[in-house]
Amino acid sequence: MSETLFSKIIDRSIPAEIVYEDEHILGFNDINPQAPVHVLFIPKIAIATHNDIKPEHDQVIAQLHHAINIYAKEIGEDENGYRIVMNCNANGQQTVFHIHMHFLAGRQMLWPPG
């Protein structure tokens, strides 16, 4: 499996502000936040893009969503609401090829997202 920035965050070879962790999922602050709260939630197993999600990943994808729910409730943003985004490949402007859900909260989001 190829190394990415996020696999290095998982193995702690580069630092990150980790705000959530369980057996399968890691959540850490985005280095370039686009909202008062901007956390990246990633599975600890490497899946390069949304296109690479297969039926065998059903459980970890559910765990990713459960982790986000736990965190949103923990920081008191569950009822206010938030946005979760996963960028895919060039048109989606994906830059790190280890799937990650952007969790954005703490302000009114706009639509269309641009």
Residues that bind ligand AMP (CB under 6 A): 5, 16, 28, 30-32, 40, 87, 93-96
**Per annotation, catalytic residue among 38, 66, 98, 100:** 100
Alpha-carbon span 79 to 59, nearest angstrom = 25
Q: How far is the CB of 83 from ligand AMP (least distance, A)?
A: 13
Q: Is 100 tagged catalytic?
A: yes
Measured from the CB atom, is 5 or 70 closer to ligand AMP?
Answer: 5
Cβ contacts of 53 within 8 Å, gap of 6 or more: 47, 61, 99
d(CA 35, CA 42): 18
Sign of CA dihedral 8, 13, 16, 20: positive
Closer residue to ligand AMP, CB minimum distance, 75 or 88: 88
Residue 25 or 40 with smaller CB distance to ligand AMP: 40
- Residue written as tokens 């979760």? 84
Residues that are catalytic:
100
